[in-house]
Structure 1
Amino acid sequence: MFEIYLFIISLFRHFRNRLGDERRVPFLEISFKTFKQHSFKTQIRDFKRADYEGLKNQLNDTDWDDVVFNSNNINDVYMNFVKTFERTVNRYIPTKTMTVRLNDKPFMNNLIRNKIRHRNRIHHKANNPDHWKKFREIRNEIISLVRKAKDDYKCKLTSQLIDKNIPPGKRWRIASLIKFYKNRDSPFFGT
């Protein structure tokens, strides 16, 4: 027998039907809260635009005895090393801001998001036939973009799964992503 004690607010509640007579009807109300995970921005290093030669020269030219090892306390030596190294890395490896959307589908991209926002703005003013026609065109374009993005994502997963050089752990993670696609979706192998 499955019993829920923690979430029950009321077990019996008065119920009035259409004819007006009151009856006590068993009623179960479960209360729970869901928390929406918001997107957040984070800084990541852009290693493609890094100046590795300048970084190497700066690290070689640094007088580590004077800058880092000028204290007898190991904590001070560690903090001096970290600060000096971070300052040098920040100078030669740029950062870029990335938005992390936790609830987003893996195939979503900025083009689809912008088109969806555009479609929603047009939908609010779609009270004449011209606006309604424009809304339908954008809606159909979004549907085709989403389908193409899904197919591209599935092809990418398939090619990663077929690759023999990936480690077994990554192969199982990809296989677990694939298993969530229903039979109504297009098959992986053969697309």
Structure 2
Amino acid sequence: MVDSRPALVQRDGDIVEIDGTSAVAFSAVQGSYYVSVKHRNHLGVMTASAVPLSVTGTSVDFRTSATGTYRVTTSAINQSQVTVAQGVALWGGNVVYDKSVIYQGTTNDVSAIANQVKGPLNLTGAANYILNGYYTGDVNLDGRTIYQGNSNDVNYIYLNVTKNHPGNATGQNFFVIKEQLP
């Protein structure tokens, strides 16, 4: 790694400086680099080849399938991004920061959402409690972590694992989506 920095992901997928408007700037010298993006509860993604970066600025758009991304192997089980209506996106649901999205099985992300929701702020321990704020269990990034009920975050993990991943042709609940970074 040559350089890294925190930034903000906006609702439309743009990534900007923490001031909310400026383009992200790096201190690395002009040259060609692999560019990657990591998010707090999504799997990271990296360009498949080095991208020439210059002082005038370079745009790397991971929202389009035309941007080649790195995959550990070309096997269908190794997909760097999920296809969505708007193009492609990061795999959401890495709630436990283990470089994988797991719906059912050991170290699954669903249990982590349940633990957050049923935590100390939830005085009754209700499974349908809505935990407001910035939590890793907020998979859809709406500012609310929901384990059970309408608009729950668990459904995003379920759909990514069982329906959206082309490597899980049989829709197994215990399929593991693995981050595709070296």
Query: TM-score of the superposition, structure 2-length normalised?
Result: 0.26
Larger relative helix fraction: 1
Larger RCO: 1 or 2 (CA < 8 Å, sep 6+): 2
Bigger Cα Rg: 1
Larger relative strand fraction: 2
